[in-house]
């Protein structure tokens, strides 16, 4: 049987397959659009990330460059510093060696001179004993002219005592008053080798030194190395100090000491002309270098330290030196030492004290 309303079967099949096709196409379209969007998003994201990482890489490279620059600058600066340090160390070593050589050669020369002088005076004595009248009188005259006022004071009273002369250079300074107080308390007299450039700042202290029996020595006006000056230069440097001292205390310094212990014939001639001896030292406490009371005392009481007739070098411009001095004095007193000025020490231990001669001890 056949119905009129019914659609032929092959048509029905055709419609259904068309529907499927449409559906499939629609799905494909959706899929394609989705995939497209996804890939566009992915491409954009990737591009963005690449851009960011490129920028970061650039920044890192820049920073690394900067770091390298800073590092190379630093290493250059470090190299320069090391070089400078080495140069300075070398210079210091050279200077120290020079100073040591100079002082040892000076000491040796001085010893030789002293020995020669001894021999000469012995020979003179022998000649005098033999009774060669004219020579003897000439010798006596010469001796009198070069001898520092040894007859005016009783130097012999220290003959049988252990004596020591404490000396203070480069002052007066802010600690000198405390030093003077402590010395007065202990009944001790010392010698102050003052600088002319400083005395006008402490006129009262200078007068006090003089009044309390300390000796005032000339240590030059500006602490220049005298061996580098002409005879006129030496005179001007030393006289400037002497004049200032005289203006304050009423008399010139009675002894002198060369800055750095450095002297030559011209310096000796100046002292000779002034009628004063040059007083250096045999015990160096190195107080200016260490600025430590314990070290000062250690050196003062070492094997090569203070003995009878010693002249001790210190500087009253350092506070630890003042502390060390008091401890030193107390200890030396217990050992029976008597404290004298440099002039007293020289006259007590030398039969004659010669102007212009360098003395290192009594
Ligand atoms: Ni000095």
The pLDDT tens digits of the residues spanning 39-64 come to 888 888 888 888 888 888 888 888 89
User: Vertex 316, ends 310 and 320: CA angle to 5°?
Assistant: 95
pLDDT at 291: 96
Q: Are 355 and 267 in contact (CB under 8 A)?
A: no
Coil, strand or helix: which one is 115?
A: helix
Give me ligand 1 centre to Cα 259, in Å.
5
pLDDT at 288: 97
Q: Poorest-confidence range of 18-22, 193-197, 289-293?
A: 18-22
Instruction: Pick the more confident residue, 282 or 52.
Output: 282
pLDDT at 77: 86
Q: Are 146 and 290 in contact (CB under 8 A)?
A: no
Coil, strand or helix: which one is 180?
A: helix
Where residue 189 falls among pLDDT bands split at 50, 70, 90?
A: very high
pLDDT at 98: 84
pLDDT at 120: 67
Kindly name the residue from 214, 280, 315, 318 that is annotated as catalytic: 315
CA-to-CA distance for 141 and 155, rounded, in angstroms? 22
Give me ligand 1 centre to Cα 74, in Å.
41
Q: Is 169 a catalytic residue?
A: yes
pLDDT at 167: 98
Kindly name the residue from 169, 282, 284, 287 that is annotated as catalytic: 169
Q: pTM (2 decimals)?
A: 0.61
CA-to-CA distance for 203 and 324, rounded, in angstroms? 25
Write out pLDDT tens, residues 97-136: 888 888 777 777 777 767 777 766 777 666 565 544 333 3
Give me ligand 1 centre to Cα 223, in Å.
6
Reply yes or no on whether the pLDDT at 92 is more than 80: yes
Give me ligand 1 centre to Cα 50, in Å.
76
Give me ligand 1 centre to Cα 349, in Å.
25
Give me ligand 1 centre to Cα 78, in Å.
36
pLDDT at 217: 98
Q: Is 204 a catalytic residue?
A: no
């Amino acid at each position: 049987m056949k119905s009129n309303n019914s659609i032929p079967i092959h048509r029905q099949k055709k419609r259904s397959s068309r529907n499927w096709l449409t559906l499939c196409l629609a799905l494909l379209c959706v899929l394609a659009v989705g995939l497209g969007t996804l890939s566009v998003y992915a491409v954009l994201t990737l591009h963005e990330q690449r851009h960011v990482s490129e920028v970061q890489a650039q920044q890192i490279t820049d920073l690394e460059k900067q770091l390298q620059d800073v590092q190379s600058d630093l290493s250059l600066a470090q190299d320069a510093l090391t070089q400078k340090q080495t140069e300075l160390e070398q210079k210091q070593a050279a200077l120290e060696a020079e100073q040591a050589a100079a002082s040892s050669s000076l000491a040796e020369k001085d010893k030789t001179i002293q020995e020669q002088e001894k021999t000469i005076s012995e020979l003179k004595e022998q000649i005098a004993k033999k009774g060669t009248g004219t020579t003897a009188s000439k010798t006596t005259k010469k001796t009198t002219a070069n001898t520092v006022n040894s007859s005016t004071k009783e130097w012999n009273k220290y003959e049988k005592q252990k004596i020591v002369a404490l000396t203070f250079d480069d002052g007066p300074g802010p600690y000198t008053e405390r030093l003077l107080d402590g010395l007065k308390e202990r009944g001790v007299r010392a010698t102050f080798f003052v600088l002319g450039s400083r005395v006008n700042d402490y006129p009262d202290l200078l007068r006090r030194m003089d009044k309390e029996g300390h000796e005032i020595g000339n240590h030059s006006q500006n602490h220049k190395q005298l061996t580098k000056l002409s005879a006129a230069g030496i005179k001007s440097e030393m006289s400037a100090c002497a004049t200032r001292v005289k203006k304050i205390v009423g008399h010139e310094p009675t002894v002198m000491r060369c800055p750095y212990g450095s002297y030559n014939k011209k310096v000796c001639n100046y002292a000779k002309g002034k009628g004063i001896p040059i007083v250096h030292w045999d015990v160096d406490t190195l107080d200016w270098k260490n600025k430590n009371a314990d070290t000062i005392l250690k050196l003062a009481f070492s094997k090569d330290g203070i003995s009878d007739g010693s002249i001790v070098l210190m500087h009253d411009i350092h506070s630890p030196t003042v502390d060390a001095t008091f401890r030193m004095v107390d200890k030396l007193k217990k050992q029976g030492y008597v404290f004298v000025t440099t002039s007293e020490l020289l006259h007590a231990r030398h039969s004659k004290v010669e102007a212009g001669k360098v003395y290192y001890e009594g």
